[in-house]
């Protein structure tokens, strides 16, 4: 009898999961899009000296200013810190992907268009939702951060960074799209390089910013579905055609 | 000699104006779009009892809940307050347009797609930029408000409201689009009815929200160009075809 009850429970769980998956797929109508469920990774503990580094890079003018270390001949050998705020790791750009995968257990998705489903949006700030995205011959890092810039008023910041140099990043355009409750919000920009700190991008506010009420309007059962698309930017596509 | 100097000055002014106009037109690439330069109208003085009215309508659930007064047979005879916060005027929906035009000197633009160029974005909060927009047989009110929700951190809130009932508003979709510095931000939603207070829409945060740094990235010489498009919403268009 206990066996049958457990079987019945398992079947119910499967139906529930199938329903959740169906709901997630339904959010974006384009056929064949990959839906990736992303759980919050960790609450970040802000380290004061890393913060100072982030602020300094902002002051230097992070609006796609070329990184001084880009003079290194092979871009893969440029020294790079872990883009996650809580981590003190340092290495070369070429090994950032394996560091993020192995140490932080961040998944890699493949395909130019995917749907990122961030769960448990109600968790207190600071919280991060992170995935890596492999397409067009590069790796990209998508970060959604819940943070209280103004005490008691958490906001969501979403940005995409290229795991590569600012010059490489300039070749691409990324799009983040929210679509629910008869509302649609689209953000398109050139990805920033992972050589700039994620935190400086967020403190600049140069990313998709959502206040809590808007995040609630776009979320379904505490999960926020964000459609992601990466393309080669038009200027560079035109140059390639010439 | 003085005459020639003045003539030369006037010609320079004309060239400058022409250049400003050209720059504004260049923001959005679609040919034949109307660019409307909108100066800040006034700094609003918040009246506490009007604020209470706004809050009550929010508590009643302003997410397109139908207005109790929609039971009045002719929608043009529904009692309506002036949608601007500082004004105590009350009248019927049919005379709101003439009130806004005559008392508040708000201009009316015609055409389904226009560019709204809000000037002097540096002015301290609270400040409003307002126009009326006539298309598809209705009048719409576009409001950009600079407001400090969190002290010392002004934000820009942009929304479009139909001068009509919530049921009429449900037939339309409006789009606001910012496009500059390799960044593009699009907001699409159903307009809210002017019977709901502008302030309740903004306090709900159910509109396009820009922090100061993002507004600076999108603005040019202190002016923010917003592309506006209004369409009949797909559901209603499909019903009309049947």
Phi, psi of B162 (to 5 degrees): -90, 135
**Cα separation, A23 vs B209, whole angstroms:** 27
Instruction: Report CB contact under 8 Å: B209, A206.
Output: no
Instruction: Report CB contact under 8 Å: A217, B209.
Output: no
**In the structure encoding, which two tokens stand for residue B82, read together?**
């002036």
**Any domain includes A2:** no
DSSP B66-112: PPGGGGSSSGGGSEEE-SSTT---EEEGGGHHHHHHHTS---EEESS
Q: What angle do CA A215, A220, A224 make, to 5 degrees?
A: 50
When pLDDT is cut at 50, 70 and 90, the band that residue B69 belongs to is very low
For residue B46, what pLDDT is reported?
42
List pLDDT tens digits, range B99-109: 999 988 898 98
CA-wise closest residue to B180 among B214, B208, B217, B213: B217
**Any domain includes A6:** no
| Cβ contacts from A onto B, under 8 A | 62
Q: What angle do CA B195, B196, B200 make, to 5 degrees?
A: 160
Q: Which domain holds residue B127?
A: 35-45+77-241
CA-wise closest residue to A78 among A66, A68, A92, A64: A92
When pLDDT is cut at 50, 70 and 90, the band that residue B75 belongs to is low
Phi, psi of B120 (to 5 degrees): 50, 50
For residue B90, what pLDDT is reported?
87
Instruction: Report CB contact under 8 Å: B186, A184.
Output: yes
Task: Give the CB-side neighbour count of residue B18, counting CA atoms within 13 A.
Answer: 6
Cβ atoms of A117 and A26 within 8 Å: the answer is no
Task: Write the residue in B185, B209, B214 that is nearest to A211 by C-beta.
Answer: B209
In this prediction, what percent of chain A has a pLDDT beyond 90? 36
Task: Write the residue in B182, B185, B186 that is nearest to A190 by C-beta.
Answer: B182
What pTM was estimated for this model as a whole? 0.74
> To the nearest 5 percent, what fractions of chain B are helix, strand and coil?
35, 35, 30
Is B187 in the A-facing interface, judged by CB distances under 8 Å? yes
List pLDDT tens digits, range A6-32: 666 666 565 655 554 444 444 343 345
Find chain A residues with C-beta within 8 A of B181's C-beta.
63
**Any domain includes A8:** no
Please compute the mean of the pLDDT values over residues A175-199 and round it to a whole number: 92
Phi, psi of A41 (to 5 degrees): -80, -55
When pLDDT is cut at 50, 70 and 90, the band that residue A118 belongs to is very high
Write A217-220 long-range contacts (CB < 8 A, 24+).
A217/A180, A217/A181, A217/A183, A217/B206, A218/A178, A218/A179, A218/A180, A218/A181, A218/A183, A218/A185, A219/A121, A219/A180, A220/A23, A220/A27, A220/A180
**Any domain includes B191:** yes
**Any domain includes B173:** yes
Regarding an ipTM greater than 0.90, the answer is: no
Is B188 in the A-facing interface, judged by CB distances under 8 Å? yes
Is A187 in the B-facing interface, judged by CB distances under 8 Å? yes
Is B148 in the A-facing interface, judged by CB distances under 8 Å? no
CA nearest to B218 within chain A: A206
CA nearest to A218 within chain B: B206
For residue B115, what is the domain's CATH number? 2.60.210.10
* Cis amide prior to A120 (ω within 30 degrees): no
Instruction: Report CB contact under 8 Å: B185, A184.
Output: no
Instruction: Report CB contact under 8 Å: A183, B173.
Output: no
For residue A142, what pLDDT is reported?
93
Residue A189 has pLDDT above 80, yes or no: yes
**Any domain includes B23:** no
**Any domain includes A5:** no
Instruction: Report CB contact under 8 Å: B189, A184.
Output: yes
User: Which residues 6+ apart lie within 8 Å of A40 measured at CB?
Assistant: A118, A119, A120, A123, A127, A128, A129
**In the structure encoding, which two tokens stand for residue A6, read together?**
């457990």
For residue A9, what pLDDT is reported?
64
List pLDDT tens digits, range A54-95: 333 333 333 344 444 445 556 667 778 888 767 888 888 888
**Any domain includes B134:** yes
Total structural domains within chain B: 1
List pLDDT tens digits, range A133-153: 999 999 999 999 999 888 888
Find chain B residues with C-beta within 8 A of A189's C-beta.
182-184
């Amino acid at each position: 009898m206990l066996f049958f009850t457990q079987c019945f429970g398992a079947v119910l769980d499967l139906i529930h999961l199938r329903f959740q998956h169906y709901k997630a797929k339904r959010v974006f109508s384009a056929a064949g899009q990959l839906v990736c469920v992303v759980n919050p990774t960790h609450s970040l503990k802000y380290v004061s000296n890393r913060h100072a580094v982030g602020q300094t890079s902002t002051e230097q003018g992070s609006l796609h200013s070329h990184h001084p270390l880009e003079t290194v001949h092979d871009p893969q050998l440029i020294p790079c810190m872990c883009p996650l705020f809580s981590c003190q790791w340092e290495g070369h750009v070429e090994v950032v992907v394996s560091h993020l995968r192995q140490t932080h257990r961040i998944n890699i998705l493949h395909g130019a268009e995917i749907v990122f489903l961030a769960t448990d949006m109600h968790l207190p700030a600071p919280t991060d939702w992170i995935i890596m995205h492999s397409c067009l011959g590069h790796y990209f890092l998508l970060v959604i951060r819940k943070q209280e810039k103004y005490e008691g008023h958490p906001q969501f910041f979403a940005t995409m960074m290229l795991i590569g140099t600012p010059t490489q990043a300039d070749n691409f355009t990324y799009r983040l799209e929210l679509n629910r409750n008869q509302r649609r919000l689209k953000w398109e920009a050139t990805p920033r390089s992972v050589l700039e700190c994620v935190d400086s991008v967020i403190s600049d506010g140069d990313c998709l910013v959502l206040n809590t009420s808007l995040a609630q309007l776009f979320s379904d059962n505490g999960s926020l579905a964000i459609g992601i698309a990466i393309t080669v930017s038009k200027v560079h596509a035109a140059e390639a055609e010439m």
